[in-house]
Amino acid sequence: MNQMISTLIALMHSQAAAKYPELQKTWITVSGRLAGQISGGPFVFDAQQCGHIDLLIRCLEDEFDPQNPNVELTMMVDTYKVMLSNIWIGAMYEIFRSLNQVNKEVFASKELSDIYRHLRMLRVSIEKHEIARDHKLKEPLQLVASPRNGDETDFREYDPKSPNKHYILPTSVHLDTGSVGWAPIDVDDAQRQPWLYRREISDRILCFWMNFNGIARVELSSSDD
């Protein structure tokens, strides 16, 4: 039996772990602290799986080259990078949602509360194609396509009460970091669409939990080598 794909997947993860050995250790520590707050053993494995995906995505981000003449390869890699980033956001959101259900006190931290809010905004728009907490909207939103198509499809109404509502989340890749970014609508300020980048969210999560209980902050943005 030809196991070429299986072998390549295993090789990808081993190469990512070899490139980021300290970051892998950080994820193991953070996984334990997250699970400790939730008091659930399975969450250790959930967080560690997020860590494995994070290392792999970081390698794809590091290798991003907007000047690469092989446009087809760049587009293919970006497609998989977006897919993995979407999966990572959804998985991290579920961990934070479970944590919020059993230990709301830890969200007294504004930083952790903001991370959770950003994960929720992204997860709803990515997985449900809706605007998070759209029940707070008092009237339909007039949306403009980004980038524009130059025709009538550029403008669309989002009615939170409509059964046919759907929201297309603006998605891009940061030219400097290679990180996937999204611009969800914040219902607390519907005129504001902050760009949220996956790598920055990951760094914020890891830095918060590595500082939890006074543990020193670690540098996460660059590779270990």
Section 128-145 average pLDDT: 91
In whole angstroms, give the CA distance from residue 29 to residue 27. Answer: 5
pLDDT tens digits, one per residue of 15-26 = 999 999 999 999
Question: Residue 212: in which H helix or E strand, if any?
Answer: none
* Confidence at residue 108, expressed as pLDDT on a 0 to 100 scale: 87
Predicted local confidence at residue 126, as pLDDT: 98
When pLDDT is cut at 50, 70 and 90, the band that residue 218 belongs to is very low
Alpha helices, DSSP H, located in the chain? 4-19, 21-38, 42-62, 71-102, 110-123, 198-211
> How far is 19 from 58, CA to CA, in rounded Å?
10
The pLDDT tens digits for 84-112 are 999 999 999 999 999 998 888 888 899 99
pLDDT band at 41 (very low <50, low <70, confident <90, very high): low
Residue matched to tokens 């920055």: 200
Residue 223 pLDDT: 46
- Residue pLDDT, tens place only, 152-164: 888 989 999 999 9
How many whole angstroms separate alpha carbon 105 and alpha carbon 49?
Answer: 25
Res. 40: pLDDT tops 70: no
How many Å apart are CA 225 and CA 19, to the nearest integer?
A: 6
User: CA 70 from chain center: how many Å?
Assistant: 27
DSSP letter (8 states) at residue 189: B
Lowest mean pLDDT among 95-104, 156-165, 204-213, 214-223: 214-223
Of 21, 13, 81, 3, the C-alpha closest to 49 is 13
What pairs with residue 30 in β-bridges? none
Read off the pLDDT band of 35 (50, 70, 90): confident
Instruction: Please report which confidence band the pLDDT of residue 225 belongs to, taking 50, 70 and 90 as the band edges.
Output: very low
Q: What is the pLDDT of residue 19?
A: 97
**C-alpha span between 85 and 174 (Å, rounded):** 13
